[in-house]
């Protein structure tokens, strides 16, 4: 399959749906809705929604069954970026080459735009229109999975530990692993799992895809750490080496660059093994896993 073409098409599909599912810019309060849309349409690669759609299709579900939840996930991912960039947190002026939300709309609106994006995700997930394609039990299970992975035992928890260990000299592998599995890994796992639930996966398929999601989530973050060192500023949309400069807890900082690459490759190998039971409908998930390490070079 042509992964590049596939990702491009899926990205357009998700973008079009996000445009439908977000309040319009002319709806009151205008500044809030502009700020929400600004960050959602700031060039995200839609990794999480694409994984969710692909997981749904892997177990025989349709794209439409998972599309609202996929967009909800992207809203949650976007809110986390808006809040992470705030002066009180990472204090970033640019993301993907554009001024961050608070630089454009001010800190107060940026905080509230993040809050509203997180809330809008649940508006979307619980929309009664979804019930034409999936059962209320499936939707509730997805709300549960996504909220757990986004909350204090998931993404937000990871962000707190990341922040608290920044610049600390005694970070160990367990801490880095906690940060990675929570801050980014949790939402990636939840994306795959939610797709599987919405696609109607049986218990064994759900477990296999959950394991795939965990492996891919961690591999993705390790690859990101590596890119921060080896990538160009242009590739990254931010300064290369910024994690290092900040004393961020990363895999390469703990175990070195080559051991990090070995670990990322190993995780991708595991992810592919978890997909062994699925037929060619899992090809996109396989290609995405391979792509994660390929983009290192």
List residues near a second copy by CB under 8 A: 23, 27-29, 31-33, 36, 79, 83, 86, 88-89, 106-109, 111-112, 114-116, 118-120, 122-123, 125-128, 131, 135-137, 139-141, 143-144, 147-148, 150-153, 156-157, 159-161, 163-164, 178
Cβ 130 to a second copy shortest distance, Å? 9
**Distance (Å, whole) CA 287 – CA 51:** 11
The two tokens of residue 284 are 């996109």
Q: What are phi and psi of 98, to 5 degrees?
A: -110, 155
Q: What are phi and psi of 217, to 5 degrees?
A: -60, -45
The two tokens of residue 40 are 């959602």
The two tokens of residue 231 are 């990538």
Tally of CB atoms within 10 A around 85: 22
Cβ 113 to a second copy shortest distance, Å? 8
Q: Taking a C-beta distance cutoff of 8 angstroms, is the pair 264, 296 a contact?
A: yes
Cβ 53 to a second copy shortest distance, Å? 22
Nearer to a second copy, 55 or 124 (CB): 124
**Distance (Å, whole) CA 61 – CA 43:** 28
**Distance (Å, whole) CA 114 – CA 83:** 6
**Distance (Å, whole) CA 289 – CA 211:** 13
Nearer to a second copy, 1 or 140 (CB): 140
**Distance (Å, whole) CA 45 – CA 236:** 12
Nearer to a second copy, 41 or 97 (CB): 41
Cβ 263 to a second copy shortest distance, Å? 23
Cβ 134 to a second copy shortest distance, Å? 11
Nearer to a second copy, 17 or 150 (CB): 150
Nearer to a second copy, 23 or 200 (CB): 23
**Distance (Å, whole) CA 274 – CA 293:** 17
Nearer to a second copy, 58 or 130 (CB): 130
Cβ 94 to a second copy shortest distance, Å? 19
């Amino acid at each position: 399959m042509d992964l590049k073409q596939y990702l491009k098409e899926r990205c357009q599909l998700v973008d079009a749906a996000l445009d439908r599912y977000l309040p319009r810019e002319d709806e009151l309060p205008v500044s809030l809705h502009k700020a929400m849309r600004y960050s959602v349409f700031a060039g995200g690669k839609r990794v999480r929604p694409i994984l969710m759609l692909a997981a749904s299709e892997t177990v025989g579900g349709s794209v439409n069954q998972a599309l609202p939840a996929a967009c909800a996930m992207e809203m949650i991912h976007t809110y986390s970026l808006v809040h992470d960039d705030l002066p009180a947190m990472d204090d970033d002026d640019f993301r993907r080459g554009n001024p961050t939300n608070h630089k454009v709309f001010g800190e107060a609106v940026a905080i509230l735009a993040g809050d509203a994006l997180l809330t809008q995700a649940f508006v979307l997930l619980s929309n009664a229109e979804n019930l034409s394609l999936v059962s209320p039990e499936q939707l509730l299970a997805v709300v549960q999975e996504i909220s757990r992975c986004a909350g204090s035992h998931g993404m937000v928890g990871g962000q707190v530990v990341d922040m608290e260990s920044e610049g600390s000299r005694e970070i160990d592998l367990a801490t880095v692993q906690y940060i990675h599995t929570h801050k980014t890994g949790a939402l990636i796992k939840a994306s795959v799992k939610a797709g599987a639930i919405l696609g109607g996966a049986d218990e064994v398929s759900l477990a296999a895809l959950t394991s795939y999601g965990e492996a891919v989530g961690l591999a993705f973050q390790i690859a990101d750490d590596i890119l921060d060192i080896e990538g160009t500023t242009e590739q990254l949309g931010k300064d290369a080496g910024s994690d290092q400069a900040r004393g961020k807890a990363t895999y390469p900082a703990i175990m070195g660059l080559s051991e990090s690459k070995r670990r990322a490759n190993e995780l991708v190998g595991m992810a592919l093994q978890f997909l062994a039971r699925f037929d060619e409908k899992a090809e996109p998930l396989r290609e995405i896993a391979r792509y994660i390490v390929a983009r290192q070079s």
